[in-house]
Amino acid sequence: MANETIRCECGHENKEGTVLCEACGKPIEKNQHIDGNDQQNVLEMRYEGGARRSQTYKRTFVDKIWAFFSSVKVGVWLIVMTLIFSALGTIYPQEQFKNSPLPSSVFYEEEYGLTGKIFYQLGFHNMYDSWWYIILVALIGVSIIISSIDRYVPLRRALKNQKTKKNEVFVKRQRVVSFDNELSENDLNTLKTNLKKQRYKVHEENGHIFAEKNRFSRWGPYVNHIGLIIILIASIFRMFEVMHIDDYVWVREGEVQAIPGTGQEYFVENNEFIYEVYDPETEERFTRALEDVENPVPKNFQTNATIYRATNDPVLGEKPELERVTEGEIRLNQPVIFDGYSLYQSGTQVESEYNSISMELQVNDESLGGFTFDTDEAPSEFNLEESDTTITIDNWYPELEFTDEGPSSFSKYPRNPGIIFTVSSPDLDEDERFFYLQEEVIPLADNNQANVSVSDVDRRSASGLTVKKDNTLPLFGLGAGIFMIGVLQGLYWYHRRIWIHPKDGSYHIGVHTNKNWYGMNQELDKIRKGTNVKPFVDQQEMK
Amino acid sequence: MGFYELSSLFLNITFFLYLIATAFFGLTLGKNRESNKKSKAIKIAMTFTIIGFASQMTSYIFRWLQAGHIPVSNMFEYIYFFSMMLILAFVVIYFIYGIPALGLIALPIAVVIIGYGSMFPQEISPLVPSLQSNWLYIHVTTVALAQAILSISFIAGLLFLIKRVDQSQSSKETTFLELILFGVVSTIAYIILSSSFGAMDYEATFTKELEEQTVDVTYSMPALFQPHDSELVTEGVFNSGIETPGWMQGADAGLKLNTLVLSLTLGGILYGLLRLILKGRRVSALLNQKFDKINPDIVDDIMYRAIAIGFPLFTLGGLIFASIWAQQAWGRFWGWDPKEVWALVTWLFYAVFLHLRLTRGWHGKKSAWLAVVGFVIIMFNLIVINLVISGLHSYA
């Protein structure tokens, strides 16, 4: 397949596969079937009759692949398939949203029956991460790239090589035309003035007039496709861990935690967690709605946090030295941002844990004093000096549960504390044991003298914070921006051309716009105004 | 009278103004009327439309004043804003292209949409923390405007089909056209059922065991399908004894199925009656005959132009602004939430529309059918995704 050329009668050398001569527009006889010009009077102007590789060479394997991906039909089918699969994935929740301790293999069938089982077995529960969904999107990417190159190159060449003087056939076979106009010098001058008023660039050559505007609009589709490709490239980058961090940390009130994903460099302290609900009494305008719902409507989730940075490289087990970086109020919609990282408010355990439990001791209505058990320190002994009383902590269960082997702790978090302790005091005949659980104190002996009661509990909330760092965001933003520019460029400006062709003392006029013929016709009325040009005829109007 | 009451009052006024406008647009139907009478009717219809829009705007502003935040935070408010944008888009299109027949479709559809939206709770609710952001204003309003403009494409498409589908014999096209009309009639049926049983304070409560808890499900329409494994508590109300199949999930599955089946049944009855009155003729055949002649090129152009404006706007509001907000609220700009997926589906669909039209020359009827499908996708995203599939957007 040599790069043969076709010489037009105007003298221009066209590439093999050209449909309309790049210079004069004369149809090249043997290639008319490519754009379907043999079937219709109006010439197909979409790609200016340029030589598209996909339509010219169809022999080798590469040719065939190229032709396949450059087809709009194939592209549309790929989009339609992506569209259908995307939609199918929403029938049941995706695995990440299923919100159930059951494994997926059980969950979907249990919850949704046979259709759920099929959904799971087809892998639709992980639709958007599945290899075939990703391949589908990647194929769209390939299609975008190949079809754009296939069209852009010949289109650019055709528009660059176009001449003012066109072939008569080209002019007469445009969609909107006006034939055999008797135009005086005056008419021609008015026409040119009118064209310039409509911001056309007017060229002249041997009495032929060519007016053109907004050629850049033709590049719109290619620009927006570049935007999409950038977005796809950004999503490929995002698959690599280096490019983004996505982690989660629970921080209790008063606690300092290393921020995961920062390599023990940053730490966060939860100074206070604030949870507010809407009060139907004070928020009068919402009373009606608030009375209708059973649960209170949340108003604010907020963590007042301080961010620290380790100033030394901590040796394992050693506490790092911390330096304050910033502090802030983390709310939904208001993350705290520092050194490229962001902390988002995303989970709450309101007053889910006990900070401390205070108890009072009495013997015969006489106070022996009180003590406060701090759940973090969990001291093993208290001495009440005023009454010379000693409290010994025998067993400490942060999250109490009863198993076959007796009481034990489910976790190290004081969510349901249980304390077994012994009281020894000169006021007592013998030592007495007690069991604190669920804000009550139960004596373990039958005839105890001492009376222990809970005087106060202090609870704390835990705040769940998402840690994010995403280096791909600027790339996504760039892609989206370029896409929008390309779309607007292609949709809101129209590439319009008018050829005035002298023939035997009269003039044929041919008009082409790449879209919006309705607007073109209105513009033509303005251009024709004050001249002898006959009304334009649309050769392709819907009947 | 407080802002809330004023807002409701103006909403009712709006509804009637649009009904009157529809009636005047109706006067343009038929071939025997004189053309100057028709143009008078159009002028009056447009006047009522514009006054109606002003009234709706007023109602909206009062609601805004009462709430202290822009009323786009629940289903009622969203649909309300959407219908307002639909009317606005229609008025703008009318002044550019001057095709009154569009009003004959746009106004009734807006009326049905407002009616449908009014079936949802209308109380002004406070903003939960995730909605407390300026992006609520930017994202939701842009999406609503974009969807309204895209709907104009559907309205133009429907007009195109009514005039251009060959009604001399029945075909796939005539069947689908009837199906669209049946859909509209069923929506009206739902509004009739919902508002009349609502006015009667009809209630039938069932109890049901769900995940080891007893839940009450209250029907506000007669129960054709009771919830799966449930018992009727309310006395003296109709109960068919037919249970909702067990594979339909959620406490409200029976309620939703019941409402759907009842609406479609009454819709079917109403539609059947229409056919009876027409002596068996297709409804679209009657419309075809009664509608004034259109210039197909111009209607086709409106169809395209609406998408040319709606598509970039939707990209901006539904994908770009949405991503920015999601990034700010949750730290992830895209999370495959059902609503997000359907925004993508909508976007892909209109991308297909544009490719087929601009590079494969799908004009006229083909384009019109695509515009219809696009509207179905938008409505699906608005109604089914919000009400049936739960996700981040199930607020509305």
Mean pLDDT of B353-381: 92
A72 touches chain B (CB under 8 A): yes
- For residue range A129-164, what is the model confidence (pLDDT) as tens digits? 999 999 999 999 999 999 999 999 999 999 999 999
Task: Tell me which amino acid residue A228 is.
Answer: L
Total length of chain B: 396
**Mean of pLDDT values over B83-88:** 96
Residue whose pair of structure tokens reads 């900070």 in the numeric block: A355
- Cα gap B352→A79, rounded to integer Å: 7
Contact A320, A264 (CB under 8 A): yes
Residues 301-320 of B with CB under 8 A from A: 301, 305, 308, 311-312, 315-316, 319-320
Contact B330, A346 (CB under 8 A): yes
Cβ contact (<8 Å) for B348 and A75?
no
More confident residue, A435 or A312: A435
Verify whether the Cβ–Cβ distance B342 to A87 is below 8 Å.
yes
Is A90 close to B130, i.e. CB distance below 8 A?
Answer: no
- Average pLDDT on A465-470 reads 91
Cβ pair A113:B363 closer than 8 A: no
Distance CA B287, CA B104 (A): 11
Contact B355 A97 (CB under 8 A): no
Of the partner residues B247, B297, B341, the one whose CB lies closest to the CB of residue A542: B297
CB atoms within 10 A of CB A198: 15
pLDDT at A1: 44
Pick the closest to residue A495 from A529, A518, A520 (CA basis).
A520
A472: chain B residues, CB-CB within 8 Å: none
pLDDT of A233 strictly over 90:
yes
Look at A1 and A139; give whichever has higher pLDDT: A139
Q: Flag whether residue B215 sits within 8 Å of chain A, measured between CB atoms.
A: no
Which pLDDT belongs to residue B393?
A: 53
Spatial strand order in the sheet of B230-232: B213-219, B204-210, B230-232
Give the nearest partner residue to B338 out of A90, A96, A285, using CB atoms. A90
Q: How far is B330 from chain A (nearest CA, A)?
A: 6
Q: Phi and psi of A453, rounded to 5°?
A: -130, 155
Instruction: Identify the pLDDT of residue B34.
Output: 75
DSSP readout, A37-94? TTT-SSPP-TTTT---HHHH--SSHHHHHHHHHH-HHHHHHHHHHHHHHHHHTTSS--
Q: Which of residues 216-255 of B touch A (CB under 8 A)?
A: 246-247, 249
Q: Which of A165-179, A446-460, B144-158, B223-237 has the lowest mean pLDDT?
A: B223-237
Q: What is the mean pLDDT of residues A56-66?
A: 89
Q: Give percent above pLDDT 70 in chain A.
A: 98
* Architecture in CATH of A165-214+494-542: 2-Layer Sandwich (3.30)
ipTM rounded to 2 decimals: 0.90
Q: Say what the pLDDT of residue B229 is.
A: 79
Distance from the first to the final alpha carbon of chain B: 28
Average pLDDT over residues A499-523: 91
Best residue in A286, A472, A517 to probe B by mutation, most B CBs within 10 Å? A286
Q: Is the pLDDT of residue B396 over 60?
A: no
The reported pLDDT for the residue numbered A317 is: 65
Mean per-residue pLDDT for B214-232?
83
The answer to whether the CB atoms of A76 and B355 lie below 8 A apart is yes
How many CB atoms sit inside 10 A of residue A149's CB? 18
> What does the DSSP 8-state code read for residue A15?
E
Give the distance from residue B188's alpha carbon to the nearest chain A alpha carbon, in angstroms: 27
pLDDT-derived band at B121 (thresholds 50, 70, 90) equals confident
Please name the helix (run of DSSP H) or strand (run of DSSP E) that holds residue A194, with its range, or none: helix A185-197
Interface of A with B in 283-342 (CB under 8 A): 283, 285-286, 288-290, 292, 297-301, 331-335, 342
Q: Which residues of B touch A75 (CB under 8 A)?
A: 355
Q: B27: distance to nearest CA of chain A, Å?
A: 27
Name, of A24-28, A426-430, B1-5, B27-31, the range with top average pLDDT.
A24-28
Interface check for A75 against chain B (CB to CB < 8 A): the answer is yes
**For the ranges A370-379, B14-23, B82-91, which has the lowest average pLDDT?**
A370-379
pTM: 0.89
Q: Is B138 an interface residue toward A (CB < 8 Å)?
A: no
CA distances in angstroms from B6 to A18, A342, B11, B13, listed in the order given? 68, 44, 8, 11
Half-sphere exposure of B121 (CA within 13 A, CB side): 14
Mean pLDDT of the A202-231 span: 95
Q: Which residue has the higher pLDDT, A31 or B238?
A: A31
| pLDDT digits 0-9 by tens, B24-42 | 998 888 776 777 888 888 9
Residue A244's φ and ψ, nearest 5 degrees, are -155, 150
Q: What are phi and psi of A511, to 5 degrees?
A: -130, 135
Q: Which chain A residue's Cα is nearest to B127? A: A299
User: What contacts A262, CB < 8 A, 6 or more positions away?
Assistant: A245, A341, A467
Percentage with pLDDT > 70 across chain B = 96
Residue A213: the pLDDT is 96
Q: Which whole number is the average pLDDT over B380-394?
A: 69
- Angle, helices A473-492 vs A220-238, to 10°: value is 160
Position with higher pLDDT, A492 vs A367: A492
User: pLDDT higher for B244 or A226?
Assistant: A226
- Which residues, numbered 94 to 133 in chain B, qualify as contacts with chain A under a Cβ-Cβ cut-off of 8 Å? 121, 123-126, 128-130, 132-133
Q: What does the H/E/C string look like for chain B?
A: CCHHHHHHHHHHHHHHHHHHHHHHHHCCCCCCCCHHHHHHHHHHHHHHHHHHHHHHHHHHHHHHHHHCCCCCCCHHHHHHHHHHHHHHHHHHHHHHHCCHHHHHHHHHHHHHHHHHHCCCCCCCCCCCHHHCCCHHHHHHHHHHHHHHHHHHHHHHHHHHHHHHCCCCCCCHHHHHHHHHHHHHHHHHHHHHHHHHHHHCCCCEEEEEEECCEEEEEEECCCECCECCCEEECCCCCCECCCECCCCCCCCCHHHHHHHHHHHHHHHHHHHHHHHHHCCCCCHHHHHHHHCCCCCHHHHHHHHHHHHHHHHHHHHHHHHHHHHHHHHHHHCCCCCCCHHHHHHHHHHHHHHHHHHHHHHHCCCHHHHHHHHHHHHHHHHHHHHHHHHCCCCCCCCC
Residue contact B336–A94, C-beta within 8 A? yes
Question: A 238-267 residues with CB below 8 A of B?
Answer: 246
Over residues A532-541, the mean pLDDT reads: 88
Q: What is the pLDDT of residues A170-188, one digit of tens each?
A: 999 999 999 999 999 999 9
Could B331 and A344 be called an inter-chain contact, meaning their C-beta atoms sit closer than 8 Å?
yes
Higher pLDDT, A91 or B393: A91
> What's the token pair of residue A13?
């050398």
Mind listing the pLDDT tens digit for each residue in A284-335? 778 777 877 777 888 999 999 999 998 877 666 677 888 999 999 999 899 9
User: Are A333 and B129 inside 8 Å of each other by CB?
Assistant: yes
Task: Specify the residue for token string 């003039």.
Answer: A507
Q: Which of B66, B126, B300 sits opposite A542 (nearest CB)?
A: B300
- Chain B residue numbers with beta carbons less than 8 Å from the beta carbon of A247 are none
Residue B51, token pair as written in the block:
């006054």
Determine the Cα–Cα distance for residues B91 and B98; give it in Å rounded to an integer: 9
The percent of residues above 90 in pLDDT, for chain B, comes to: 51
B71, B80 contact by CB (below 8 A): yes
Pairwise CB contact (< 8 Å): B345 & A111: no
Residues of A in contact with B358 (CB under 8 A): 221, 515
CA dist B298 and B164 (Å) reads 13
- State the Cα–Cα distance between residues A502 and A508, nearest whole angstrom: 6
- B360/A332 CB distance under 8 A: no
Residue B394 has pLDDT above 60, yes or no: no
Q: Are B283 and B181 in contact (CB under 8 A)?
A: yes
Within 8 A of B249 by CB-CB distance, chain A residues are 111-112
Round the CA-based radius of gyration of chain A to a whole number and report it.
40
The answer to whether the CB atoms of B125 and A286 lie below 8 A apart is yes
- End-to-end CA, chain A: 44
What radius of gyration do chain B's Cα atoms show?
22
Q: Which residue has the higher pLDDT, A377 or A496?
A: A496
Query: Is A476's pLDDT higher than 90?
Result: yes
* A-B contacts (CB, under 8 Å): 148
Instruction: Report chain A's mean pLDDT, rounded to a whole number.
Output: 89
Higher pLDDT, B371 or B226: B371
Inspect the interface and report whether the beta carbons of A79 and B296 lie closer than 8 Å: no
